[in-house]
Amino acid sequence: MDLNKAMLIGNITRDPEIRQTAGGIPVASFSVATNLSWKDANGQKQDRAEFHNVIAWRSLADIAGRFLKKGSKVFVEGRLQTRSWVGNDGQKRYTTEIVAENIIMLDRANGGQGGYQSPYQTDSRPTSASGGQNIASNGEQIITYEDVPQTGGYEESEINVDNIPF
């Protein structure tokens, strides 16, 4: 049995960039910063930020483009994927990114920095994109790929990493 799972809680470092593959499949790319704090041998607090590239496909890409903004706090769940290509200088290059399967927006609706107003909202409580109540115990909105209305019958095998426009 194999497992490839990545989970992050952090802040969006740039607005999502939305593109389409040659086949018309939407793809969003954005970055999430996570922070690590510790005390060194002298007892001094140390901080280090890590920046993680995230890719979202199809309807999740559309949602990321509409609701995620620089500074927004998010939980991203997905899998790690490494791609390679040959650069203009002839050198083989690699990048590792997280392919998002679920995104939970942790900013409160209508409040705080980076807050958002969901177009799917039917009352004062946030709802999932499918219209059903999908709320965490602290009132945060949860939108997952499964909650999003599907816009096409795409098969995973239809996506070729060579067609990714970035």
- Identify the pLDDT of residue 26: 95
Q: What does the angle CA 33 – CA 37 – CA 38 come to, to the nearest 5 degrees?
A: 155
Count of domains observed in the chain:
1
Any idea which of 6-15, 52-61, 106-115, 124-133 has the lowest mean pLDDT?
124-133
Domain that holds residue 97: 6-35+48-163
For residue 71, pLDDT over 70 is answered with yes
> Could you report the per-residue pLDDT of 112-122, keeping only the tens digit for each?
444 443 333 32
Task: Evaluate whether residue 41 is within a structural domain.
Answer: no
Average pLDDT over residues 71-81: 96
For residue 103, pLDDT over 70 is answered with yes
- Give the H/E segment covering residue 116: none
Q: What does the angle CA 82 – CA 83 – CA 89 come to, to the nearest 5 degrees?
A: 130
- How sure is the predictor about 158, in pLDDT bands with cuts at 50, 70 and 90? low
Which residue bears the tokens 């995104």?
A: 103
Task: Evaluate whether residue 114 is within a structural domain.
Answer: yes
The percent of residues in the chain predicted with pLDDT above 90, rounded, is 63
Distance CA 35, CA 141 (A): 23
Instruction: Take residue 72 and report the two structure tokens written for it.
Output: 């927004």
For residue 61, pLDDT over 60 is answered with yes
Which residue bears the tokens 């890590």?
A: 50
- Identify the pLDDT of residue 100: 96
What CATH number does residue 96 fall under?
2.40.50.140
Task: Evaluate whether residue 135 is within a structural domain.
Answer: yes
Task: Evaluate whether residue 43 is within a structural domain.
Answer: no
Average pLDDT over residues 75-83: 96
State the chain's mean pLDDT as an integer: 77
Average pLDDT over residues 29-43: 94
- Identify the pLDDT of residue 107: 82
